Amino acid sequence: MEKTIEKMRDWQKQNPQWELCCDAGDTDRHYVQWGELPKAERMSWIGSYGRDAKAAFEEFGTKRCKTVKKVLTEDLKLVDVLDWPAGFNMLIFLKMDNA
């Protein structure tokens, strides 16, 4: 596994517009957060959960990704997340300044 990760890191060095999930640190910045929700959507959560709306959203809300994400396969091919293949793969994000 370590050799595969190292191979993926070498791929990333040649494709600097992408960042590997394992190296991305806090990936929350790639997803819409409570304060970024449209007012109508926040109000829907508040209507359902009252004062606990933000906590409910954080706990089980489906957060939309703000950037492109792909899967980098063991053989260094990019595939769509919905087509996640078997084997060791890595989620990668297009860097925010490239989105």
55 and 42 in contact (C-beta within 8 Å)?
A: no
Q: What is the 3-state secondary structure (H, E, C) of the chain?
A: CHHHHHHHHHHHHHCCCEEEHHHCCCHHHHECCHHHCCHHHHHHHHHHHHHHHHHHHHHHCCCCECCCEEEECCCCCEECHHHCCCCCCEEEEECHHHC
Structure confidence at residue 27 (pLDDT): 80
Question: In the chain, where are the structural domains located?
Answer: 2-98
Q: pTM to 2 decimals?
A: 0.70
Place of tokens 């091919």: 77
Per residue in 21-75, pLDDT (tens digit) is 888 777 888 899 999 999 999 999 999 999 999 999 999 999 998 889 999 999 9
